Structure 1
Amino acid sequence: MDLEVIWRSLLMVTVGFLFLRFVGRKSVSQMTIATTVVLISVGSIVIQPVVNNGIINTIIATGVFILFLITAELLSLKFNFMEKLFTGKSKVVISNGNLQLKTLKKMRLTVDKLEMQLRQAGIKNISDVKTATLEPNGQLGYELQSDAEPLTVGEFKNLMTQLGYTFPTQIPSSSPRTNLFEEIQQGHTPSNPEQLH
């Protein structure tokens, strides 16, 4: 086995990863034609120094690239700092109904594109959003203001209980209730569930 091919593969996949990490966080569905063309071109350029010497080198390089991806995913499961390195972390783009323009600029996300994502989520007004985050995969996460939230089954049951109606008791869930948006705003790193270690 040619060690030079392995080292070239590791070098090029690392360089390619670092370059694409700077491209930003857009899911495949959100990529423009220009972004798609650039990413395909980068992929073609990254592989060129490795595979010019034949089919065996191409197979070895492909194996190294896949091994890199699997290793990155396993390390992300084990270590929070590796997850941040490989995937990034959520960024708050709306806080208490106010746009976080500095964050939007840093993420290279225009207000128009953010509004498009809000509309796709069925949100009519930015002021209705308590917190919105741009997730590492480019998708939008959001929490509505209490007055803009739809009525939940639990709230309906509470209301009906206050009016004198009784419901059969349910076994409470053993999972703790935590607000996922507060976690991001306070900068806390969630610990990985034990079953993923």
Structure 2
Amino acid sequence: MMSEYPEVIVRTILSFSILFIGARILGKQTISQMTLFDFIAASSLGAITANLSFNTKLPIHYTVIAYIIFVAIIYLVAYLSMKNRSARGFFAGKPTIIIQNGKILEHNMKTMRYTIDYLNQQLRVNDVFDISQVQTAIIETNGSMSVEVKPEFAPVTRQDLGIFAGHKKNFAVELIMDGQLVAKNLEENHVSEKWLRKELDRRNLKTEDVVYAVRGSNGRLFVDTYDDHITSPLDKE
């Protein structure tokens, strides 16, 4: 029994490693917003790696070969889906309309085994608490619901009011992390180091005093220092 412990440890490390590598190869789609095929793929990969980690009766190379074949199949399906619309529809499925022109399509709901209670629940998730306000509701291929409300219930936009939206906001840019300048971000986002130094001088700070500094989407600099000047932290035990 004791002799199996090292093998289980090695198997577990190996299973985690190949699962991580497979996820990196297949991309983020497999782990979020999953379609039916993605769910099957992820479940299968998990089952294979789980067996690899603790089922010592299975030879390691058999499990690794099975895992590689699964990853190859998933990659091939993803490639075909990207290149061919019919293949994409077959493997990922197609969106299903369950409310059209304010009318509930009972047949589509029955096909999907969708109940009225669950319909109302999903509408509430989309911040719609009155089904009479819904113009269109669609179940996407990943199971989420997209909702379009009737025009009279739609939120008012700046365009509706004729208000100029202003300049486009930029992404927040990390400039200092752990007391070190993030030179790459400064260069790629055309942020002047001179401007940053000036902002730090205005706060009587040096780069090494700063844990984290970021230029926000509004163009202002947010700075957090190592010394927080808090004598009684709320989370202190």
TM-score normalised according to structure 1 size: 0.55
The offset of 1:140, in angstroms, is: 0.0
Count of matched residue positions in the alignment of Structure 1 and Structure 2: 123
1:33-112 pair list within 5 angstroms: 44=47, 54-112=59-117
Match for 1:84: what amino acid?
G
Residues 118-165 of structure 1: per-residue CA shift (max 9 Å, x gap): 0111102112111110001000011111001000111111xx6xxxxx
In 1, the alpha carbon distance for the partners of 2:165 and 2:112 equals 48
The residue aligned with 1:132 is 137
Unaligned stretches of 5+ in structure 2?
1-32, 168-237
AA paired with 2:77? A
Which sections of structure 1, spanning at least 5 residues, go unmatched? 1-26, 29-35, 161-166, 171-197
Distance 2:58 2:166 in 1: 70
Instruction: Work out which of the residue numbers 99, 112, 120 in structure 2 matches 1:115.
Output: 120
Q: 1:154 to 1:61 in 2, by over 3 A?
A: same
Q: Once the 2 structures are TM-superposed, how far is the Cα of residue 96 of structure 1 from its aligned partner?
A: 1.6
**1:97, 1:127 → 2: CA distance?**
7
Deviations 1:84-125 (A, max 9, x none): 011000000011221111101101111111110101111021
- Residue 168 of structure 1 deviates from its aligned partner by 9.1
Please provide the CA RMSD for this pair: 3.2
1:53: Cα distance to partner? 5.1
Identity %: 31
Q: Quick one: distance in 1 between partners of 2:166 and 2:121?
A: 42
- Shift, 1:54, TM fit: 1.4
Partner of 1:131, secondary structure, is strand
Q: Does 1:151 align with 2:156?
A: yes
Given that 1:98 and 1:126 are in contact with CA atoms closer than 8 Å, whether structure 2 keeps it comes out as no
In structure 2, distance between residues paired with 1:55 and 1:168: 60
User: 2: distance between equivalents of 1:114 and 1:120?
Assistant: 10
Deviation of 1:55 after TM superposition, in Å, equals 1.0
Residue 118 to residue 168, structure 1, CA distance change in 2 (3 Å): closer
Q: Which has the higher helix share?
A: 1
Paired residues of 1:96 and 1:127 also in contact (CA < 8 A): no
Work out the CA distance in 2 between the residues paired with 1:122 and 1:168: 25
**Contact 1:89–1:135 (8 Å) recurs in 2:** yes
**Higher Cα radius of gyration:** 2
The CA distance in 2 between the partners of 1:134 and 1:104, in whole Å, is 10
Opposite residue 55 of structure 1, the aligned amino acid is I
Deviations 1:60-94 (A, max 9, x none): 00000011111111111110001001100000001
- Report how far residue 169 of structure 1 moved: 9.9
Residue type of the alignment partner of 2:86: F
Shift of 1:40: 6.1
**C-alpha separation between the residues in 2 aligned to 1:141 and 1:58?**
40
Cα distance between partner residues in 1 of 2:148 and 2:165: 30
